[in-house]
Structure 1
Amino acid sequence: MADDSEFAGKVPPNAGSQGFNPGLIVLLVVGGLLLTFLIGNIVLYTYAQKIIPPRKKKPVSKKKIKKERLRQGVSAPGE
């Protein structure tokens, strides 16, 4: 009995099996979800670049073409 009382306060309870830190588990889950989201976006973006045709440019009006030619110093035909 005397030996038990000497070591009673020196041995930590459950010293061998602490388990996982809950903060670490949350961090790993959130990090994994974020990484999955980013990789999924990159994959979808590259897939869309291959599949979707490039956007057509708006047609430029003849008035704007004429104005740009005058600005550059080239006279418009017929004037």
Structure 2
Amino acid sequence: MAPASGPVRAPEAGGAAGARIRSARKEAGLTQQGLATAVEVSRQTIIAMETGDYAPSVYLAIRVARTLHRPVEDLWG
């Protein structure tokens, strides 16, 4: 059976991870475009992470966490 197509919903209810990402991004003084450029993804990918519509790969999660100077566990734990 093929996996479902479309966005991958993040596992946390209520978008808690997205709120933590958004907060950390703002504390770092980055715009959505600034973070997207730093981690080499589109702004739409950052928006999807912040709204909880996209769960990033481990590799991308590590890049985001490093860019925001946070442990991965603080953002997605």
Q: TM-score range by the shorter chain?
A: under 0.3
TM-score relative to the length of structure 1: 0.23
Q: Larger Cα Rg: Structure 1 or Structure 2?
A: 1
- Higher RCO (CA 8 Å, separation ≥ 6 residues): 2
Q: TM-score under structure 2 normalisation?
A: 0.23
